[in-house]
Amino acid sequence: MDFHVSLAGRGDLSARIYRQLHEAIIEGRLGPGERLPPTRELAASLSVSRNTVAVAYDRLTAEGFLVGRVGAGTFVCANPPAQPPRADRPDGDIAVRPLWRPLLAEPPAPRPVRYDFQVGVPDAHRFPMTAWRRLVARELRDVGVRAAGYVDPAGHAGLRAAIARHIGLSRSVPADADDVLVTHGAQQALDLVGRVLLEPGACVAVEEPGYPPARELFASLGARVVGVPVDGEGLVVREIPRAAGLVYVTPSHQFPLGTPMSLERRTALLDWAHRRGAVVLEDDYDSEFRFSDRPLEPLYGLDRGRRVVYVGSFAKTMLPMLRLGFLVAPPSLRPAVRAAKRLADRQGDVAAQGALAAFLTEGLFARHLRRATREYAARHERITEVLRRDFAGRLDLVPSIAGLHLAALALEPIDVGALVRRAAEAGVRVEDLRTYHGEGPGRPGLALGYGAIELDAIEPGLARLAAAWP
């Protein structure tokens, strides 16, 4: 492997080569058994004599750090001598912006459990991975030299056209390929919109309870984030602060409660945005998985004043690891979000985007969605039935006819955090509904997903949850 050695400064060249190789070995950058470049090759790359390098190699060999093998080369010893711990380098004490301090803690990785009611996770086993691998392989084979250069920051042209057709047919969103910008999931779409609209200190209204990553993202951009209450009809429009210039909503399947925003509220929100000159950021969360009734028309389709940005994602319908999403922006905002995308990461994964374009246009996505919806509908029905039967008097189920999770409010005082911990000890993962509140504790309850749990595991899993109840 190539190894960087710096000869800057004055002093014995062999000693400097020795010291840097020695440090690389004791710090683990050169691992046991790793082959070093031949002395002649390293000498040529450093523009020094071969003997200069050989002296450093010989010293390390004598000390037991290197071993030479006739006809094979020089290698790091399998068991180099133990060295005293090296003193830590002094902390540079680089200060981050204060608003980042609450965001620094990484949430712990969830531990595997037998009965997993985690929210926001689709069933990976239901995804047609064989067909997806075939499409990605075909795309890699066919793109050839096109993939060697940069492409349009807005995304693969075929995918933008396929997405425009898909949302036009399935969600009545009036858009063509030029209106669509492909993103790394919905989160990047929110980030791009925030970057081009929000000045430091700007007021952003979000749902309360709501989606924590959106709230945290807007806060990281320096915005003042204000929670607006949600009731049985969705966001309470009259509670939106007058100063809000951006309102983030999930009207199709409110996260985390699951209730759709009524048509009256949708109309009121659009009227408010037009009067105030504000922008509505519509996250069409979980709109694809519906088990009864026709979905209400998205805000973007109802909007006649071009104040709505429509955001979608394939994280739940396909796989979160693919990081594929999109936004549809009104014409006045389109150049700015394209520029923000170009500055953020220049472009996405061309092969994955091309494969998704084929997945959509060849009907594979629609077929997968039909099969997945049937399976999730059965799980939704089962979990609803068991909760109403076995948790009557304990939980009030929030009505929901879409998505991959349900919310249930506690009917009696209870320490939900303690319940969640006891359930985890019994092999059941459920989520505390209060973790989705940004302002105040909120009403206690549970959020239960059914994307990661098989149908026949729902009832025994909920039985264990009932046993953990105080």
CATH number of the domain to which 18 belongs: 1.10.10.10
> What crossing angle do the helices spanning 350-361 and 364-390 adopt, rounded to 10°?
80
Give the distance from CA 68 to its chain's centroid.
48
Q: What is the pLDDT of residue 105?
A: 79
C-alpha span between 426 and 366 (Å, rounded): 38
Q: 340, 366, 392: which is the final residue of a domain? A: 366
Does residue 135 lie within any of the structural domains? yes
Pairing of strands 325-328, 405-410: unpaired
C-alpha span between 44 and 189 (Å, rounded): 50
CATH number of the domain to which 436 belongs: 3.90.1150.10
Mean pLDDT over 24-51 rounds to 92
Does residue 339 lie within any of the structural domains? yes
Q: What is the pLDDT of residues 117-148, one digit of tens each?
A: 999 899 999 999 999 999 999 988 876 655 56
Cβ partners under 8 Å of residue 30, min gap 6: 3, 21, 24, 36, 76
Q: What is the pLDDT of residue 86?
A: 61
Cβ partners under 8 Å of residue 175, min gap 6: 164, 167, 168, 310, 328
Q: What is the pLDDT of residues 276-311, one digit of tens each?
A: 999 999 999 888 888 876 667 899 999 988 999 999
| Counted domains in the chain | 3
CA distances from 5 to 16, 27, 40, 67, 217 (A): 8, 15, 15, 20, 41
CATH number of the domain to which 345 belongs: 3.40.640.10
Same domain, 403 and 344: no
Check pLDDT > 90 for residue 4.
no
Same domain, 316 and 189: yes
C-alpha span between 134 and 146 (Å, rounded): 19
Q: Confidence band (pLDDT; 50, 70, 90) for 173?
A: very high
Does residue 439 lie within any of the structural domains? yes
C-alpha span between 347 and 184 (Å, rounded): 10
Q: Confidence band (pLDDT; 50, 70, 90) for 14?
A: very high
Same domain, 223 and 354: yes
C-alpha span between 22 and 98 (Å, rounded): 40
Same domain, 353 and 379: no
Cβ partners under 8 Å of residue 183, min gap 6: 155, 189, 192, 324, 325, 326, 327, 341, 348
Q: Confidence band (pLDDT; 50, 70, 90) for 158?
A: very high
Mean pLDDT over 188-217 rounds to 96
Q: Residue 295: which domain range?
A: 127-366
C-alpha span between 346 and 151 (Å, rounded): 8
Say if residues 22 and 60 touch (Cβ distance below 8 Å): yes
Q: What ranges make up the beta strands (E) of 172-243?
A: 180-183, 203-208, 224-231, 234-235
Check pLDDT > 70 for residue 85.
no
Please give the helix or strand (H or E) that residue 245 lies within, else none: strand 244-249
